[in-house]
Amino acid sequence: MGPVDTKLDPGLILRVAWLDEDVVELIVSASNGRFRGATSCHVRPSFFQDLARQLEGFPQSPDDVREARIGVSETGFVELRMLCIDGVGHPVALIGIVASGRPHEERVDLTLPLSAAGIDELVGDLSASEVTVGRELRLPMESH
């Protein structure tokens, strides 16, 4: 294994790159300090509120699992699966980032340890403000 780049900002970042009344282009990136990936995704303007509702209150129990897909296959997408790794309820995000394109698509899969407080903060940010170009939302990685 090669050296770990400690300059990477670990976590999941969603940044609004462009929007109109029908579609929002997001640049989604994720890093756990060892692996990093990014892609461009297209979502509806209601995506932020919808994702907030999906993630709100996670985790409610050690068996709680939440799944979301950000974007569409034609342009690039992110698969987000949040679950607990133990009976105490320590949450993680399993993130699959896919950059669609020709001649082939590329994929990065990584695991992000999370905190319930970080998830709650993201849910609040998703619900709180208007969608504007340059808006950036973060789900920080929890250091264990």
Which domains, from first to last, does the chain contain?
11-135 (3.30.2450)
Is residue 25 within 8 Å of 47, Cβ to Cβ? no
Nearest to 17 by CA among 85, 76, 83: 76
Say what the pLDDT of residue 2 is.
40
What pLDDT does residue 109 have? 97
The confidence score (pLDDT) of residue 128 equals: 84
Q: How much is the pTM?
A: 0.89
Q: Which of 24, 26, 48 is nearest to 38 (CA)?
A: 26
For every residue of 78-128, DSSP letters joined together read EEEEEEESSTT--EEEEEEEEE--SS--EEEEEEEE--HHHHHHHHHHHHH
pLDDT of residue 117: 94
How far apart (Å, rounded) are the C-alpha atoms in residues 107 and 129? Answer: 31
pLDDT along the chain (144 residues), means of 10: 53 96 96 94 95 96 96 90 93 95 86 95 90 94 81
pLDDT of residue 8: 60
What is the per-residue pLDDT for 80? 97
State whether residue 22 is helix, strand or coil.
Answer: coil
Closest by CA position to 62, among listed 84, 79, 43, 47:
84
